[in-house]
Chain A
Amino acid sequence: MIGKILKIVLVGIAVVLGVALVLFMYDEHIMGFYLVFGMVGVGLFLVAMQILSLIQREGQQDD
């Protein structure tokens, strides 16, 4: 569990740096912005999924 949280924190830091880069690129209109944003966006969703998986439990997804 602690290892998983550490992994999420590390990836989270990377994603935050990525977001900062995206905001900088968006502000400066640098070429390749959309490629970086796509990569960072997917990273954000993967981190969010990993965080939410901590409060999931095994079972059929019914109720």
Chain B
Amino acid sequence: MIDISSIANIPPFIIYFLGAALLPLFGKGSARKVYLILLAVVGLIGVVVLEQHVGWVFAVLPGLDLTFLYVDRLSLIMGYIFAIIGAAAILYSLDIVKENGELMCGLLYLGSAMGAVFAGDFFTLYIFWEIMAFASLGLIWYTRTERATNAGMRYILFHLFGGCALLAGIIINYMSTGAISLVPGALGIGHFPVEMGIGYFLLLIGIGVNTAFIFLHTWLPDSYPKATLAGAVFMCVFTTKTGVYVLARTFPGAKLSLFFGDGIPFIAYIGGLMCVYGVVFALLQNDVRKLLSYHIISQVGYMVAGVGIGTYIGINGGIAHVFNHILYKALLFMCMGAVIYSTGRRNLTDLGGLARKMPVTTITCIIAALSISGVVGFNGYVSKGMIIHAAELSHMHILALVLMLGSIGTFLSFLKLTYFTFFRRNDEIEAKEAPIFMLIPMCVVAFLCVAFGVYPKMLYEILPYKAVALHYDAFALAHTVGTLELLAMTAFMFFAFRVLIMPHERITYDIDYIYRKAGRGIIWFCEKPLTAFANAMDSGVHRLTDSAVWFSRNPAAASIVLITATCTKLRNPFGSEDNGQERDLKEEKPQLVDEPMEKLSIGAGVMIVLLFFAIYLIVMFIHGWLAP
């Protein structure tokens, strides 16, 4: 019997990168299915056998090492959930993805996310960060529509901007603090030194793009709905959660000092803003995957708030929410992918009546909706409660109320999604249940949502601060009853005011409207005034060179013409340009210059050169003589 715990620690990204490289060898038939299932299993085992340690260190420059494997409790929990949902996404893709290229993009994306969370230093992290951006771009472009191509361009532009900011932040921070390693040693998670200054804010912007901070979030609801059905399942998991992971490493509990006091934990309040902002925009959406995309922003807001609070229970809550959110959000994207696959429709206004036709999808979607809404007995309830509890313990009561408000909006939004997708009467719709390879991962993930909700101790065991987590009572009576009251009232209000929440075919403007307008303005500026200026400069330079050529043909005659013209102008500065003298000069100008020059003999030329040389020597002599 093989003892798998004795297998050496291998960075998990190698498994997935190698898997992607070998994929084309297996064609597109059953062999590919078997290979992908094996790859998913090997990837899971590869993470499970990892032990806490630092390895795979390569010296690239004196004093600069790249560490490809750093395993601690934080990276391990991220690795577990990435491997679980990666396996589910691979299974989900088996029947619906036809092109190997799309699967390779998915595997590279999964591998690079693994590489980022197990990176031991910021440069290694940056390398995987960029691979993630380009691999996920493939998942958008494989939709092969003009909308997807345009959205992909906007997506990659945003991520290149974020990547540049991150790299600049890393370098500036490295120059000032010398810190590059993410290995915290005895200090624990989140003790990476970041010095206040331009590097601090560039790092924050770089991380903020991936984490979808408000004002940097527009790439997310723009691109995710346009990704392929399987691609969206991959995409909803890795980019934003890797951002939260890096945030937990670098900015837990970060405070910004204003004019007075100790400073405010601004990251936590950014999270609160994200939480409500995402929900409000989600409620306005008609496209089911756009609605889910806005909910990613909202849910990531909870994680950012947890990390921003910065206490042990806050970080635990944030990371627990990463774990739970990945489960139910991937499940929601899988369910909506199944609905789009079966019906060809993606707008709530066109859907309805699917509960009888797609019962498994309906049940799994309801489980995911209850989980994301934080209903008691489902996994979202545990982690959301932990974050709100952390906010109250830190006396951040406004933040706690904002996060509870986010819960209300989330439940409202998912009542809308499930009701208008599955239960509203629609006799026209034709659909049948999704293929078995789509249903299996959906059922497994739905089971996990319930399992972690009913028995949260399984999750507490793998959280970064286990001892603190084990002291948290998720099912405290007051909290449980309070949550049920809150959600019951929300459900009542939804059915009472359902007409106001009806989906409509409308375009909702987000902040990207301003960016796009500004972008069009920049293009106009480049095409019109900038091009006109360039043309003016071009013709100016041409005129200058023409004049130089004209002057050099006969410098003596040209000088006479220029002097005469200048004197004429000085004598009559306000006179008309068409007076007789100037007209004569214009006529004479070409003739004078075209006259042959007076030629000097060679001896005279040498004399002039010697004369200038003698003057030069005298000047140099006087300069040397005068010099101290």
**Which residues on A are within 8 Å of B, measured CB to CB?**
22-23, 26, 32-35, 37-39, 41-46, 48-50, 52-53, 55-63
Residues of A near B483 (CB, < 8 A) are 34
A52 to B509, CA, bound (A): 8
Residues of A near B283 (CB, < 8 A) are 45, 48-49
Binds A, one of B67-75, B400-408, B430-438: B400-408
Residues of A near B281 (CB, < 8 A) are 52
CB <8 Å contact, A38 and B284: no
Which residue of A is nearest B493, CB measured?
Answer: A42
Interface pairs A-B: 10 shortest CB-CB: A38-B489, A41-B408, A34-B485, A42-B493, A56-B506, A34-B486, A34-B482, A61-B286, A38-B486, A59-B507
With known contacts A34-B486, A35-B489, A45-B408, A61–B279 Cβ distance under 8 A: no
Residues of B near A26 (CB, < 8 A) are 397, 401
B409 within 8 A of A: yes
A8 to B586, CA, bound (A): 75
CB <8 Å contact, A53 and B493: no
A56 to B505, CA, bound (A): 10
A52 to B504, CA, bound (A): 13
**Which residues on B are within 8 Å of A, measured CB to CB?**
147, 150-151, 222, 279-281, 283-287, 290, 347, 397, 401, 404-405, 408-409, 412, 481-483, 485-490, 493-494, 497, 500-501, 504-509
CB <8 Å contact, B505 and A59: yes
CB <8 Å contact, A60 and B507: yes
CB <8 Å contact, B280 and A48: yes
A37, A49, A57: the one contacting B501 at CB < 8 Å is A49
Residues of B near A41 (CB, < 8 A) are 404-405, 408-409, 486, 490
B284, B404, B507, B509: the one contacting A49 at CB < 8 Å is B284
A53 to B281, CA, bound (A): 10
Task: Report 10 cross-chain contacts, Cβ distance below 8 Å, ordered by A residue.
Answer: A35-B486, A39-B493, A41-B409, A45-B283, A48-B280, A49-B284, A58-B506, A58-B507, A59-B505, A61-B347
With known contacts A45-B409, A61-B507, A52–B486 Cβ distance under 8 A: no
Besides A49-B500, A56-B506, A61-B507, 9 new A-B residue pairs in contact (Cβ under 8 A), listed by A number: A38-B408, A38-B485, A41-B405, A45-B408, A49-B280, A53-B284, A56-B507, A58-B505, A58-B507
With known contacts A35-B489, A52-B284, A46–B497 Cβ distance under 8 A: yes
A23 to B401, CA, bound (A): 9
A35 to B493, CA, bound (A): 11
**Which interface residue of B284, B408, B483, B505 has the most chain A CB atoms within 10 A?**
B408
CB <8 Å contact, B505 and A61: yes
A56 to B285, CA, bound (A): 11
With known contacts A35-B489, A62-B147, A44–B405 Cβ distance under 8 A: yes
CB <8 Å contact, A57 and B507: yes
Residues of B near A63 (CB, < 8 A) are 147, 150-151, 222
CB <8 Å contact, B280 and A56: no
CB <8 Å contact, A34 and B489: yes
Residues of B near A61 (CB, < 8 A) are 285-287, 290, 347, 505-508
A38 to B482, CA, bound (A): 10
CB <8 Å contact, A59 and B506: yes
A59 to B482, CA, bound (A): 40
With known contacts A49-B284, A56-B284, A62-B147, A38–B507 Cβ distance under 8 A: no
Shortest beta-carbon distance, B225 to chain A, in Å?
A: 9
Shortest beta-carbon distance, A47 to chain B, in Å?
A: 10
Which residue of B is nearest A45, CB measured?
Answer: B409
A62 to B225, CA, bound (A): 9
B401, B404, B509: the one contacting A56 at CB < 8 Å is B509
Shortest beta-carbon distance, A35 to chain B, in Å?
A: 5
Which residue of A is nearest B349, CB measured?
Answer: A61
Shortest beta-carbon distance, B389 to chain A, in Å?
A: 15
Shortest beta-carbon distance, A21 to chain B, in Å?
A: 13
With known contacts A56-B506, A63-B147, A42–B494 Cβ distance under 8 A: yes
CB <8 Å contact, A52 and B408: no
A41 to B281, CA, bound (A): 15
CB <8 Å contact, B500 and A46: yes
A38 to B494, CA, bound (A): 11
CB <8 Å contact, B401 and A39: no
CB <8 Å contact, A53 and B405: no
Shortest beta-carbon distance, B298 to chain A, in Å?
A: 12
A53 to B504, CA, bound (A): 10
A60 to B286, CA, bound (A): 9
CB <8 Å contact, A38 and B490: yes
Which residue of B is nearest A50, CB measured?
Answer: B500
Shortest beta-carbon distance, B211 to chain A, in Å?
A: 23
With known contacts A42-B412, A59-B505, A63-B147, A52–B493 Cβ distance under 8 A: no
Residues of B near A32 (CB, < 8 A) are 485
**Which interface residue of A23, A35, A42, A50 has the most chain B CB atoms within 10 A?**
A42
A22, A45, A56, A57: the one contacting B412 at CB < 8 Å is A45
Shortest beta-carbon distance, B166 to chain A, in Å?
A: 28
Residues of A near B504 (CB, < 8 A) are 56
Which residue of A is nearest B290, CB measured?
Answer: A61
A38, A52, A56, A58: the one contacting B487 at CB < 8 Å is A38
A9 to B89, CA, bound (A): 47
Residues of A near B508 (CB, < 8 A) are 52, 56, 61
A37 to B501, CA, bound (A): 19
Residues of A near B401 (CB, < 8 A) are 22-23, 26, 37
Shortest beta-carbon distance, B370 to chain A, in Å?
A: 16
Which residue of A is nearest B281, CB measured?
Answer: A52
B486, B489, B505: the one contacting A60 at CB < 8 Å is B505
Which residue of A is nearest B406, CB measured?
Answer: A41
A60 to B505, CA, bound (A): 5
Residues of A near B147 (CB, < 8 A) are 62-63
Which residue of B is nearest A32, CB measured?
Answer: B485
**Which interface residue of A39, A53, A61 has the most chain B CB atoms within 10 A?**
A61
A63 to B286, CA, bound (A): 12
Residues of B near A35 (CB, < 8 A) are 485-486, 488-489
